[in-house]
Structure 1
Amino acid sequence: MRQDLAKMVYEDIGFEDITTRALIPPGLQVRGQIIGREEGIIAGVELAVAIFTEFAVETEILVGDGEKIEPGQIVMKISGDPRSILSVERTVLNLLMRMSGIATLTANVIKMVRSVNPDVIVAGTRKTTPGLQFFEKNAIRSGGGDTHRYRLDDSVLIKDNHLALVGGVAEAISRARKYVSFTKKIEIEVETLEEALQAANAGADIIMLDNMDPDGVITVLKALEDGNLRGNVIIEVSGGINSDNILQFAKTGVDVISTGYITHSARSLDLSLDLDKIH
């Protein structure tokens, strides 16, 4: 992870930060602070500290990951060589702002759905920015959400294209069960009531109802209950879920709502870094 962070910084710097090198003489020492400009949930603090530490900048954390801030609140104090601070400033702020935006949106969505379904889990999807999936997934966690899969090796998730090539729900689950360790859950994405019942009878651990409307979800849940299959599986819904319709899905009584909305539609939280000269 340190290598990934360092790569981000050095890609931004290039051969040198010519502006800072031209204007700031060596030997200066400054102190500064990262300040929140709006209300939100902070995420990415530990990553910011890792970058600053790599460049010999001292830090003091005042707000940790997952904590709420108000406008004007200081998130972190820093001190050190201004040449180093100014060279990493944008990378640090971009990460903090992006991750805090995701954490804030996640927290807001969870607050909304828990008002109608106190036990529902809100999870992210793999609709993340390539190269930033680890950071964006951790931002979801800071906002109180579930990360779902970080990578393809986390668990089995049988999707429509898998089924098209294998030939059926039961066969796909059987092949997966024979191949993977008992430590891995097997999840399958289905689009119809018939497929959901097949998946439950075949022993899927998690059934994802993909692109179903709330009425369709309720129909599936009732059929599983009637067949004494509901207690055997986790029911997840996904596909086109956002702030406009998520309450309707939460009211159905599903266990998990997964949505790419909390990553791909999150707005960055407004943060800034201010410096003062010490000597």
Structure 2
Amino acid sequence: MKPDITRILYDDVGFEDITTKALIPPDLEIEAEIICKEDGVIAGVELADNIFKEFLIKTSIKRYDGDHVSAGDVVMTLQGDARSIITVERTALNLLMRMSGIASLTSKLVKDVKGVNKNVILAGTRKTTPGLQFFEKDAVRAGGGDTHRYRLDDAVLIKDNHIAVVGSVKGAVERAKNYVSFTKKIEIEVESSADALEAAASGADIVMFDNMSPEEVQNVLEELENAGLREKVLIEVSGGINPGNILEYAEKGVDVISTGYITHSAKALDLSLEVL
């Protein structure tokens, strides 16, 4: 991911950090530390560590990705060229704060849903920031969630527009099975019980109930059970799921809950870099 990190960094720096070069003499060595200003789950430490090391800054990691942190905890200590530390500070902190915010929200929701359905998986979606997809997905994983697809080539996910073009659920599943390797799972998005039954009967691996109410989810699950198809597929629910309604879906006994909320609506975790 070095090209991505380099691009992000130099988008911020430009030709030079004129403030730092004007105020700080060259070859001045300092020590600094990154401190948590609120409780949460940390993520992005390895990424930040790589950024600092690229500028020959010595680091000592105190908290690792996935660790629960409290206000006042030191995440990392730094030693090296003052100009370098201060120039890359903001980029490193921004990535750490963004990723830690996602990890913190994911961790909370994982704990909540596991409290009512210990087997359910909480997954992210592809509602990520372009250019930061890998980092945001990694933050979901640090928070105890599932990454779902990183990219379009990870698995087949047949959506409503695909079905509209193909003409039927069965036809879409059959085309996918004929095209992709046996190593790729086939998931299909449905909005009705009839489509769910057709998808399961056609050999889909995962059936996603899209934008269904918890009551509708319950009804479709019962229909699949009655048809002897429930155990043949994983059931995922998605669409409009947030902290206010997620427990209602978890209680229905679904296998996976996916939500873009944990990436597009996560609040950054407050961190700071302090020179010692």
Give the TM-score band, short-chain normalised.
over 0.9
Q: Is the 8 A contact 2:123 2:147 kept in 1?
A: yes
Give secondary structure in 2 for the equivalent of 1:75: strand
Match of 1:134 in 2: 134
Rounded Cα–Cα distance in structure 2 between residues aligned with 1:260 and 1:151: 15
Following superposition, the deviation at residue 230 of structure 1 comes to 1.0
Letter in 2 for 1:198: E
Residues 49-85 of structure 1, C-alpha deviation per residue, up to 9 Å, x if partnerless? 1100111111100000000001100000110001111
Residues 139-194 of structure 1, C-alpha deviation per residue, up to 9 Å, x if partnerless? 00000000000000000000000000000000000000000000000000000000
Match of 1:226 in 2: 226
> Which residues in structure 2 correspond to 1:162-241 (within 5 Å)?
162-241=162-241
Rounded Cα–Cα distance in structure 1 between residues aligned with 2:58 and 2:179: 49
TM-score (normalizing by structure 1): 0.98
Residues 231-262 of structure 1, C-alpha deviation per residue, up to 9 Å, x if partnerless? 11000000000000000000000000000010
TM-score (normalizing by structure 2): 0.99
Rounded Cα–Cα distance in structure 2 between residues aligned with 1:26 and 1:130: 36
Match of 2:50 in 1: 50
Letter in 2 for 1:271: L
Letter in 1 for 2:7: K
Residues 175-225 of structure 1, C-alpha deviation per residue, up to 9 Å, x if partnerless? 000000000000000000000000000000000000000111111111111
Letter in 2 for 1:19: T
Match of 1:63 in 2: 63
Match of 1:15 in 2: 15
Task: Let me know the Cα RMSD of the aligned residues.
Answer: 0.5
Give secondary structure in 1 for the equivalent of 2:38: coil
Rounded Cα–Cα distance in structure 1 between residues aligned with 2:210 and 2:60: 45
Match of 1:257 in 2: 257
Match of 1:33 in 2: 33
Give secondary structure in 2 for the equivalent of 1:84: helix
Rounded Cα–Cα distance in structure 2 between residues aligned with 1:219 and 1:130: 37
Give secondary structure in 2 for the equivalent of 1:207: strand
Following superposition, the deviation at residue 3 of structure 1 comes to 1.4
Q: Does 1:92 align with 2:92?
A: yes
Letter in 2 for 1:239: G
Length, aligned pairs only: 276
Letter in 1 for 2:37: R
Give secondary structure in 1 for the equivalent of 2:34: strand
Match of 1:122 in 2: 122
Match of 2:248 in 1: 248
Rounded Cα–Cα distance in structure 1 between residues aligned with 2:56 and 2:82: 11
Give secondary structure in 1 for the equivalent of 2:52: helix
Give secondary structure in 2 for the equivalent of 1:187: strand
Match of 1:106 in 2: 106
Following superposition, the deviation at residue 7 of structure 1 comes to 1.3
Structure 1 consecutive aligned stretches of length 4 or more whose deviation exceeds 4 Å? none
Q: Is the 8 A contact 2:188 2:199 kept in 1?
A: yes
Query: Unmatched 5+ residue regions in structure 1?
Result: none
Rounded Cα–Cα distance in structure 2 between residues aligned with 1:171 and 1:27: 67
Letter in 2 for 1:14: G
Give aligned-pair identity as a percent: 63
